[in-house]
Amino acid sequence: MLKGIKVIDFTQYLPGPHTTLRLADMGAEIIKIESPTGDPARFPAEEDGGDKYLFRAQNRNKESITLNLKEVDDQQVAKDLILSADVVIEGFRPGVTNRLGISYEEIVKIKPDIVYCSLTGYGQVSPLSHLGSHDINYMALSGVLSQFKDDEKRPVQPTITMADLVGAIATSESIVAALLKKERTGIGSYIDLAIADVMVTLMTNHILIESATGEQHGMPRLNGAHVCYTLYETRDGRFISLAALELKFWENFCLAVGKESWLGSSFTLPSKENPVYREMVSLFLSRDFEEWIHLSQTVDCCITPVLEAGELAEYPYYKARKLIQKHEGLNHVATRYCQNQSENIHYKPSPKHDKHNNSLLYELKSSSK
């Protein structure tokens, strides 16, 4: 899909590297530029002596070169690399690229059709541009975190860095769109991508609904306010998600569990005062997790298990789609499905720090002759 596209990647940690991982899985060549000390996501080393698992997960299929961008000579090397590239992505705070000699204004002079993406938390120009932040800050500020609350109405901190990852998806989307524009018009692009902006777009429904009704938690049918759309505990302490919103799915569920008497109760409240809800809780508690998994795969009623990370690789759906692949003893997640089932995502392990210095610099020197 992106074979022949070269990306110069000045990012570190998670959002930028996940962006370029997605581009790499689409076939792009990624050259990762690291400082002399390396991407901080490499450290501390794991027990096997290798880079941190976070780094390994996000940096497969990339090449690494070390440059000290505070040095004029290395700034020139960076520019030479960019001359042969299609895309630049950087994750510095606003203004830093000016000091390092690789700002968009500098690069567009030598590469007018470049696709240049600046990935930050709060954009290049905003009241918060000068501030540092992390995933939970973007989730909190966007209102997304307020949608994850416990029974005491306290926000729950997720164990997945949703803002970083969703921000990366939006960034790769913007880069691919800019590449399409470049192919059609020959004109490059500058992309000012702010993770806080991306996260607030996830609140599209909630913000409009609140402005119309005052409801803070989106569509009532989707916020656990009905027995047909909520989570249930199983006999062995696991959880099942039921989302039988449409009548046909609710009917399929009720008939499958022998409860025709529930047919008219799909949108009743999941409260202890509701006899149907009490019966449903008891029903789910009467069967083990595996029994409900069997039903989820045989009855079309929008029911799925709440799986743990260690169960995903062996779950039939992901095995069939080849989305989790084992390489060098570790499970890696493909960022896209390959329609040709004989095709696996190309895999090269994450590069050692400055592994490709010699080969890339030699290539540069050869091309300049």
Q: What is the pLDDT of residues 47-58, one digit of tens each?
A: 999 999 999 999
Q: CA 326 to CA 281: how far, in whole Å?
A: 38
Mean of per-residue pLDDT scores for the chain: 94
Q: CA 18 to CA 61: how far, in whole Å?
A: 12
Topology at the third CATH level for domain 6-202+346-368: Rossmann fold (3.40.50)
In this prediction, residue 368 has a pLDDT band, given cuts at 50, 70 and 90, of low
Nearest CA among 200, 205, 229, 202 for reference residue 218: 205
Answer whether the bond into residue 44 is a cis peptide, omega within 30°: yes
Look at 6-10, 79-83, 131-135, 219-223 and tell me which has the smallest mean pLDDT.
219-223
Please report the pLDDT score of residue 355 as a whole number. Answer: 72
- Higher pLDDT residue, 367 or 126? 126
Over range 143-165, report the average pLDDT. Answer: 95
Instruction: Please give the order of strands across the beta sheet that includes 239-243.
Output: 229-233, 239-243, 303-305
Q: Is the overall model pTM greater than 0.85, yes or no?
A: yes
Q: Is 357 a residue whose pLDDT tops 90?
A: no
By DSSP bridging, strand 189-194 and strand 115-120 are: parallel
Q: Is 8 a residue whose pLDDT tops 70?
A: yes
Over range 255-260, report the average pLDDT. Answer: 98
Please report the pLDDT score of residue 151 as a whole number. Answer: 86
Q: Is 343 a residue whose pLDDT tops 80?
A: no
Please report the pLDDT score of residue 362 as a whole number. Answer: 56
Question: Is 113 one of the annotated active-site residues of the chain?
Answer: no
**Contacting residues for 78 by C-beta, under 8 A, at least 6 apart:** 8, 33, 67, 69, 101, 102
Q: CA 115 to CA 134: how far, in whole Å?
A: 26
In this prediction, residue 219 has a pLDDT band, given cuts at 50, 70 and 90, of confident
Domain ranges of the chain: 6-202+346-368, 220-306
By DSSP bridging, strand 239-243 and strand 229-233 are: antiparallel
Please report the pLDDT score of residue 366 as a whole number. Answer: 63
- Per the residue annotation, which of 9, 135, 164, 197 is the catalytic one? 164
In terms of C-beta density within 10 A (0-12 exposed, 13-18 middle, 19 or more buried), how is residue 47 classed? exposed
Nearest CA among 236, 286, 290 for reference residue 259: 286
- According to DSSP, the residues that pair with 64 across neighbouring strands are 32
By DSSP bridging, strand 239-243 and strand 303-305 are: antiparallel
Question: What is the full DSSP assignment across 273-342?
Answer: T-HHHHHHHHHHHTS-HHHHHHHHHHS-SSEEE---GGGTTTSHHHHHHT-EEEETTEEEE-SS--SSTT
**Computed over its alpha carbons, how large is the radius of gyration of the chain?**
25
220-306 is classed in which CATH architecture? Answer: 2-Layer Sandwich (3.30)
Q: CA 38 to CA 155: how far, in whole Å?
A: 35
Please report the pLDDT score of residue 57 as a whole number. Answer: 96
Over range 335-349, report the average pLDDT. Answer: 75
Q: CA 361 to CA 343: how far, in whole Å?
A: 32
Please report the pLDDT score of residue 345 as a whole number. Answer: 64
Three-state SS at 79: helix
